[in-house]
Amino acid sequence: MIRLGSRGSDLALTQSRTVARDLESATGERVEIEIFSTKGDRILDRPLPEVGGKGLFTEELEAALREGRIDLAVHSLKDLPVEDSEGLTVGAVPERAAVADVLVFDPQFYDDEAGALPLSDGSILGTSSPRRAAAIATLRPGLEIRDLRGNVPTRVNKVREGLYHGILLARAGLDRLRLDLDGLEAVDLPRTRFVPAPGQGALGVQCRQGDDRILELLSTIHDEETAKCAHAERALLLGLGGGCSMPFGASAMRLENGDYEMRAALANRSGTPAGLKHLRLQGPQLEDLVVRALERLSPLAREPLLGRRLVVVRPGGADSALQTELAVAGAEVHSIALTEALPIAPLASELPQAEDQFDLVATSARAVDRIFEELALADSDWRPRHAFAVGPSTARALAERGLEPRTPEDPAGGEALGAFLLEQIPEADRRPLLFPCALERHDGLETRLTGTGFDLRAVALYRIDVLHGSEWPCEDCDAVVWTSPSSVDAAAQATDTPNPETRLHLALGSTTGSALLESGRGPIEIAANPTPDAVLEALTRSLGR
């Protein structure tokens, strides 16, 4: 006989009975279930992060395993601490159920125009997960987030009672319980926006280390592919030093072409309003994806800019991947617009036709947006033969249009992009280059390509105007991050304080750095590679804890 310990909730018992049935069927052994009450089950009046972290739902079961009172314990893998408890191990990971988050909601608050979270603004949305709360706050700041406790049926009943207009759960729990929603509705949330918790949808069957008999029996219900993906997700969480209170999601899966995909999302832990840092990696070796993800996310998870106040100067003042990354690293981030981009309509003769064999070269995401806006207005089907981008943000804008842009390894402005083009395209193959740009552009690209056999056709699609009367969002910031030379040039005209009190002026790219040096501001640092990672490294070096 095998003795299996389980929590007493409907979901925990359902999961334990499923494992017991499968184990009995596979081995012929009889499985007896013993019910335990855990600390997480008993304390229902406080948010989970306040109650405790590791072992909240497992401590009593693990003690029974060590003492030999039970042989197995079944857990939702996402609730099990990442590191094996002393003397114990996960002996089996059965085949995974659905991994998605699901929104259960009262249909009278449904809004089909609200996107991935189809609830009307002002609706009360319940969750106990910092990860889900961060995703909600980023995607739908107009919703009210309230803490949610209790087992799955209790949580669903709270929607029926009107205490919440919607709640977020794991789809696997609903499926396993086969709950009748009785007038409520449910919709799966996209994995691209709501990256599931590490191990979500998977079960972990815990046993004693060295218990060879039980380990051999458990091997009959173990699914290696599920285990491989779930363990990779949990290894990423462990590498970041996180537990159940970290607002972090990770989801690995095998693709049809045989590669693996790893998605991850991380928000800051200090409570500063911020978006999520999303990451998507793909490759043949799952272990390599974990290493690459840790390289990208570990600097942020350490929150090196905690308590620092930063101002990012951006045309239009819009949020950006840079601002998100700095906020996830712990900073209080403000933005200010000193300039605005006003569209210029090109002549019809300046736009390529479908049959034209041009390459496309772009030095800003805004220029990419504008050229495709104009092509759509002209009902043109033109597509470039090749596309080249000055840096990562411009490359992303091109990739969103289905292109596969090439970018210099050291994206240091127009001159570096020109050198890259000379290296990449042989002289005999140098077709005309369409160059969408601003009216007041810097001439680095054009100067570098003069006399090289390239026919660079610049098309001015917008101009930069100064926004007069702008006010700095904080007077005693630690650093100002300048993202364009036009903003540097405009500062003297746009504000009453062209040189705010700050410990550091940081320029993105050498062109912006040159403008800063000419302005006389200081102290100055230049991130020659204008990427969020390079900016974070420079700020951490100068301001970090």
Spatial contact of 304 and 271, defined as CB atoms under 8 Å apart:
no
For 519, the 3-state DSSP assignment is helix
Pull the structure tokens for residue 44: 């229902």
376, 380, 386, 390 alpha-carbon torsion, rounded to 10° = -30
Return the H-helix or E-strand segment holding 29: none
For 421, the 3-state DSSP assignment is helix
Tell me whether residue 489 is one of the annotated catalytic residues: no
The stretches of 69-150 forming alpha helices (DSSP H) are 130-139
Distance from C-alpha of 264 to C-alpha of 94, rounded to nearest angstrom: 23
Spatial contact of 31 and 23, defined as CB atoms under 8 Å apart:
yes
For 283, the 3-state DSSP assignment is strand
Spatial contact of 275 and 258, defined as CB atoms under 8 Å apart:
no
- The helix/strand count (H/E) of the chain reads as 18, 23
How far is residue 274 from each of residues 270, 328, 536, measured CA to CA in Å? 10, 7, 16
Spatial contact of 104 and 188, defined as CB atoms under 8 Å apart:
no
Residues 6+ apart with CB under 8 A from 349: none
Choose, from 41, 45, 71, 79, the residue flagged as catalytic: 79
59 DSSP 8-state letter: H
Beta bridge partner(s), residue 403: none
Do you know the residue count of the chain? 545
Q: Where in the sequence numbering do the catalytic residues fall?
A: 79
